[in-house]
Amino acid sequence: MVPRRLILESSLSPGDIVILTAAVRDLHETYPGRFITDVRMPCPEIWEHNPYITPLLEIDPSVSVVQCEYPLVNRSNFAPYHFIHGYRKHLNDVLNIQIRAGDFCGDIHLSDEERSWMSQVEETHGIGSRFWIIVAGGKLDFTAKWWSHTRYQEVVDSLRDEVRFVQVGSTEHYHPPLRGVVDLRGKTDLRQLIRLVYHADGVVCPVTLLMHLAAAVPTRLGNGRGRPCVVVAGGREAPHWEAYPTHQFLHTVGALECCQMGGCWKSRTYPLGDGSELDRSICQDVRDGLQHCMALISAKEVTSAVRKYLRGGAIERSAATGERARSNGWKRTTGAAR
């Protein structure tokens, strides 16, 4: 049988594309040899070293171009599905196939050389390899996902003797600086961020790219993709749609009238006046500048969630493997290859 040749297209955000990697993996594992796939997306770094990607040309008459979507999100509050089902179901409908569900995570690949490099934190700051990543802001378009910067600072302060935090975030978005952290804001491209996640013990973040990378990037432990992650989620999205099995997903769905039966899916806390249609999707319950659903989540609750991983032993198991990797000779990186 001649394989079907597909170019998969999407203009969505990197977090969405991480989820799409799972559908591509599951497509090839369900139908080995039946498809040849390439991608056209604004974040090619996510697909580096992916064994399921083969260069194809749109001008080839044997190639079909598929716009990848996940309309299942419109049922996310009521149907028992996770985000990871969305792209797979859409490909099933478009291609008239039945892709089987694979692992409960995205599918990010690192080369053996990348795995051998020391972390960017260790290289640039010389302070050891043990750290958690923290995202204390978010994109400017969806401000309803933001938690309190003051509360993130409380988390860092409360854990200062237990966890070294590395703050990341794009300079194009809202990421005010935290005190007492390693500041890598604006200092990682997407591939560097993926490698940073590989070395991280855990992640603290809102519903954003980093939570999907925490699940999708392999761990140094070598036992799959089960990295600790504390997600400050509030009531915007249904927990069953977003949460991963190994994450502490702190939500308030069901606690408030506005998210009583599921996520409210509001976009912004206040109108930004930028002409975007998102200004018509505004939170209606704001307390002291913070969405009520997010205000209900305390810094103490987030700190406690991090400590669950510390006291449960997940971090020490990862550390033991990290030390073995170091003794085998991590190599210092140079230039853009960090």
> Residue 13's pLDDT band (boundaries 50, 70, 90)?
very high
Residue 310, phi then psi, degrees to nearest 5:
-65, -45
* Mean pLDDT, residues 109-123 taken together: 91
Read off the amino acid at residue 338.
R
Neighbours of 336 (CB within 10 A): 8
Res 257: pLDDT: 96
Q: Is 218 a residue whose pLDDT tops 90? A: yes
Neighbours of 245 (CB within 10 A): 10
> Residue 222's pLDDT band (boundaries 50, 70, 90)?
low
Res 118: pLDDT: 87
State whether residue 268 is helix, strand or coil.
strand
Q: Is 225 a residue whose pLDDT tops 90? A: no
Instruction: Quote the strand ranges of 257-327, DSSP E.
Output: 286-287, 290-291
Cα separations (Å) of 185 from 51, 193, 252, 311?
31, 11, 29, 29
**Statement: 112-337 belongs to CATH 3.40.50.2000:** yes
Q: Is 129 a residue whose pLDDT tops 80? A: no
Res 335: pLDDT: 34
Model confidence pLDDT, tens digit, residues 47-102:
999 999 999 999 999 999 999 999 999 999 999 999 999 999 999 999 999 999 99
Q: What percent of the chain has pLDDT over 90?
A: 83
Instruction: Say what the pTM is.
Output: 0.91
Read off the amino acid at residue 189.
D
Res 274: pLDDT: 93
